[in-house]
Structures are given as structure tokens and as C-alpha cells.
């Protein structure tokens, strides 16, 4: 073997064999009231340990990985491992420190509270 062949073989052996998961955009419902923005995202089969919510600089990113344990030979497969991912633009006026997330029955529920300065208010008018 010459040196080039050995080098090529060594590089091929060192490559990480990583399987890409199919990426799915989760379906969402978004509601807004005076106090908060409420987001519901369908992420069936995702455990809370595999969900990530990131809010930074006007961007909200939600992602989660559904891992399915295979038992036996697969003869038909429609519900496999996937990665859910979606990015939204959100107002800078969110109170990021108070963002709350919960996952129940495959639905991620995000409470995105508005900062006090962003909440609507009624101004009292006085007469002199």
C-alpha cells in the first residue's frame, strides 16, 4: 500500500457515522392577551428531557427530538425518530426571565409574559 491509500483509508475510518433525523415543523397555535403570548406546539412522543426552548434577541426557537426504541424487525414504519424545530420572531418586550414552558400529552405550552412597559394601559385624563 502506498501512503495515499493508507491516509484515505484512515480518514474514512475516522468519519463519524451519524444518522440525520428527519426534521418536522411542529404545528402551533398562538394566542395573545394583555399579559402574555401563549403558544401551543404539537410535539408527540417527545420527552421533556429532549425539548429545548431558547429566547434571544427577538427570536424564539423551540426544538425537540422524538426517540423511538425499535424492537424486532421493522415491516412498516410511520412513527419513527424525528427532530421537531421551529423559529419565530417575537417582540423584544417579552419578560424573558418569566418565560414558562410545560409539556403535557405531547403538547408544549409556552407562556411568554409581556414586560410591564409593553402592556396596554389606560391613561387617566385630568382637567384643570
DSSP state of 5: H
pLDDT in tens, 14-32: 555 456 889 999 999 999 9
Q: Would 120 be classed as within a structural domain? A: no
117 secondary structure, DSSP code: G
CATH of the domain at 54: 2.60.40.790
Confirm whether 126 is domain-assigned.
no
Torsion of CA 67, 71, 72, 75, to 10 degrees: -50
Structural domain including 93 reads: 20-68+79-113
4 within domain boundaries: no
pTM over 0.75, yes/no: no
SS3 45: coil
- pLDDT tens across 75-111, in order? 777 788 999 999 999 988 888 899 999 999 999 999 9
Asked whether residue 121 is assigned to any structural domain, the reply reads: no
Structurally, the chain folds into a number of domains equal to 1
Amino acid at each position: 500500500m502506498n501512503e495515499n491509500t493508507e491516509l484515505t483509508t484512515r480518514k474514512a475510518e475516522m468519519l463519524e457515522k451519524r444518522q440525520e433525523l428527519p426534521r418536522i415543523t411542529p404545528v402551533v397555535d398562538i394566542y395573545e392577551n394583555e399579559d402574555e403570548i401563549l403558544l401551543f406546539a404539537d410535539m408527540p412522543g417527545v420527552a421533556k428531557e429532549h425539548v429545548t426552548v431558547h429566547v434571544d434577541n427577538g427570536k424564539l426557537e423551540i426544538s425537540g427530538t422524538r426517540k423511538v426504541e425499535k424492537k424486532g424487525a421493522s415491516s412498516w414504519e410511520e412513527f419513527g425518530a424525528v427532530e421537531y424545530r421551529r423559529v419565530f420572531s417575537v417582540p423584544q418586550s417579552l419578560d424573558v426571565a418569566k418565560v414558562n414552558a410545560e409539556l403535557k400529552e405531547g403538547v408544549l405550552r409556552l407562556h411568554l409574559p409581556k414586560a410591564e412597559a409593553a402592556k396596554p394601559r389606560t391613561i387617566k385624563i385630568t382637567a384643570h
